[in-house]
Structure 1
Amino acid sequence: MRKESEVLEQLIQWAGKHELIRAVILTSSRTNPKAPVDLFSDYDPVLVVTDTEVFAKDDRWLELFGSILTSFKDEFISDGIKHYTRLVLYHDGVKIDFSIWPVELLEQILKRPELPDFLDLGYRVLLDKDGLTKGLKPPTHSAYAISKPTKEEYLGQIQEFWWDVTYVAKSLWRDELFFAKYMLDCSIRFSSLQKMVEWYIGLKNDWAVNPGKYGRWFKRYLDRRTWSELEKTFTGSRIEDNWETLFKTTKLFRRLAIEVGEGLGYTYPHQLDERVSEYLLKVRNLGRDADDFD
């Protein structure tokens, strides 16, 4: 695998010789001092060009950076201006996520009172032939930090959690594993549970850290007990194991929500918790041949 210095030097040399490329800005984790970086960390260069269509219509230029294992491309519109991405994984393990911007898009960003979050997270100008980036504000490296929830947001996530767990219980009773796993491992985990874990981390870190997308750095910020309990919310395909995991999930959510609420001065809805918890137990103990819930 190529070293960072080799990848960046190759990029700078190529862009320097290419007349259409006027600036190159490196973004994301490799420019954020708060982010962990390892050999699999992406390179995220923004190519600021005078003609985006040249790069969008013919992708053969991507092969200049190595033998391509796989790639993905997309296009976006920001401030009414079209721009492109070319995400490329090379055979040697290097992954480069190219963003292709017209000069006009950078000019629009320069007019904003604040940097967009992905630049505020961190950036480094690798090349600027025309001084286009001189007006960019310095990054604060604080974008995506966890925000304190309002009382309404806090109670809303709790309401959502205790509503969604009822679907898990019914699906497990019906032996509908696929849907039960979707609700428990996707809908609940990456919505209300993830949000409550983030708020717990925020509370413990003065609301000044970024836990990464979808809990990427949860282990880094959680205390040993909480991480251990969170690990136990994962399980396999046995119905009985998923029942156990459901109750471990509700126990963890309850503890974190109560602590977050106390830290923010919000009251946890214990009665809602008790009603739904009783319902979950009742469904679990209901015989498979039952035709009445009473």
Structure 2
Amino acid sequence: MIQLNHQMKGRMSLMRSAEQFYPSLLNWAGECDWIRVVLQTSSRTNPHAFRDRFTDYDIELYVNNLEWFLQDNWLSHFGTLIAAAPLKPAIDQLHITRLVLFDDGTKMDFQIYQLDLLEKVSQLPPEYDNGYEVLLDKDKLTPLFKPPSFQAYHVKPPTKDQYAELVNSFWWDTSYVAKSLWRDELFFSKYMLDSIIRINYLQPMIEWHIGVQHSWGVNPNKHGRWFKRYVQPALWTRIEQTYAGSSVEDNWNALFNTMNLFSELAIEVGAYLSYPYDKEMEERLTAYCKNIYTLP
């Protein structure tokens, strides 16, 4: 049974609102001479993004004293810290990353840049084109920024070679899952099925399917976060059936479900893009895996 920390639960029920957060941020930034520009990016600035109570505040600070932020004392302004990453702040290519979580459940992702970098921005980087908002600009450095198009991370169709290589790699790697399941090598089989095959091959194929269904005009977010919002319920049920626990038999079922699902999506995407699909490769590897499944 999961043990609840009732004190933490009480704090999270009082998670600060946006109406509380922004004045606190801007009052602090306005009083700190090192900070010259404050930008907000990501979900809270993109009208097409999905937001809820756990949506991060993605804040970018452009400063003229980067070293001052190498100590985390400044974070106490925002509350009681319960975790931060990386473990210690460090300057990497003229910027510092502080991903922080507070005891009321509020998460803030700070990217802190040397001010000189802002002056070198000649066109919107993808993360700004996906959505940004200028919260504070003490020196009028941002008026020339173009408005975001919100299209930077839309699904893009694969080239013919990208599609063919991914299809080939998917079917090749199914053989590793089958052999490791027969050997009762659960850890390796899960690595191949749930990491390599799911993330490297099934995920982009689902993304391409979503691109086809939505005319390449949506962003399903990274690592399938918004897949459930963009696929039909029947397809989502099929995706759920590609997951399994620790039972070897369940993982065999998950493998075959993954193979069937990938085949259908790949054929659909290939037909839409007029790319050939290697059905013979699928049939050979499917027979190979099923033969291993029947071995004593």
Asked whether the equivalents of residues 75 and 82 of structure 1 are also in contact (C-alpha less than 8 Å), the reply is no
Q: Which residue of 2 aligns with 1:251?
A: 260
Taking structure 1 as reference, are residues 86 and 14 closer, same or farther at Cα in structure 2, changes over 3 Å only?
same
Deviations 1:199-241 (A, max 9, x none): 0000000011111110000000001111110010011111111
**How far off its partner does 1:42 sit?**
0.4
Q: Which residue of 2 aligns with 1:178?
A: 187
Q: After the TM superposition, which residues 47-66 of structure 1 pair with which residues of structure 2 at under 5 Å, given as runs?
A: 47-56=61-70, 58-66=71-79
Instruction: Give, in whole Å, the separation in 2 of the partners of 1:17 and 1:245.
Output: 56
Q: After the TM superposition, which residues 171-250 of structure 1 pair with which residues of structure 2 at under 5 Å, given as runs?
A: 171-250=180-259
Asked whether the equivalents of residues 211 and 217 of structure 1 are also in contact (C-alpha less than 8 Å), the reply is yes
Alignment of 1:68 with 2:81, yes or no, is yes
Instruction: Give, in whole Å, the separation in 2 of the partners of 1:274 and 1:87.
Output: 47
Q: Which residue of 2 aligns with 1:29?
A: 43
Unaligned ranges ≥5, structure 2: 1-14
Q: Which residue of 2 aligns with 1:106?
A: 118
TM-score, structure 1 length as denominator? 0.93
What SS does the corresponding residue of 1:191 show, helix, strand or coil?
Answer: helix
Q: Which residue of 2 aligns with 1:152?
A: 161
Instruction: Give, in whole Å, the separation in 2 of the partners of 1:5 and 1:47.
Output: 20
The one-letter amino acid of 1:62's match is L
Unaligned ranges ≥5, structure 1: 288-294
Alignment of 1:11 with 2:21, yes or no, is no
Instruction: Give, in whole Å, the separation in 2 of the partners of 1:124 and 1:144.
Output: 17
Deviations 1:24-62 (A, max 9, x none): 001110001110111100001111111111112x11101
Alignment of 1:89 with 2:98, yes or no, is no
| Pairs aligned (count) | 280
Deviations 1:121-143 (A, max 9, x none): 10111111100111211111111
**How far off its partner does 1:75 sit?**
5.0
Instruction: Give, in whole Å, the separation in 2 of the partners of 1:50 and 1:5.
Output: 28
Instruction: Give, in whole Å, the separation in 1 of the partners of 2:95 and 2:232.
Output: 42
TM-score, structure 2 length as denominator? 0.93
Alignment of 1:43 with 2:60, yes or no, is no
The one-letter amino acid of 2:85's match is F
Q: Percent identity?
A: 49
Instruction: Give, in whole Å, the separation in 2 of the partners of 1:38 and 1:194.
Output: 24
Deviations 1:149-193 (A, max 9, x none): 111011111011001110000000000000000100111101100
What SS does the corresponding residue of 2:211 show, helix, strand or coil?
Answer: helix
Taking structure 1 as reference, are residues 160 and 85 closer, same or farther at Cα in structure 2, changes over 3 Å only?
same
What SS does the corresponding residue of 2:139 show, helix, strand or coil?
Answer: coil
Q: Which residue of 2 aligns with 1:120?
A: 129
Q: Which residue of 2 aligns with 1:279?
A: 288
The one-letter amino acid of 2:119's match is E
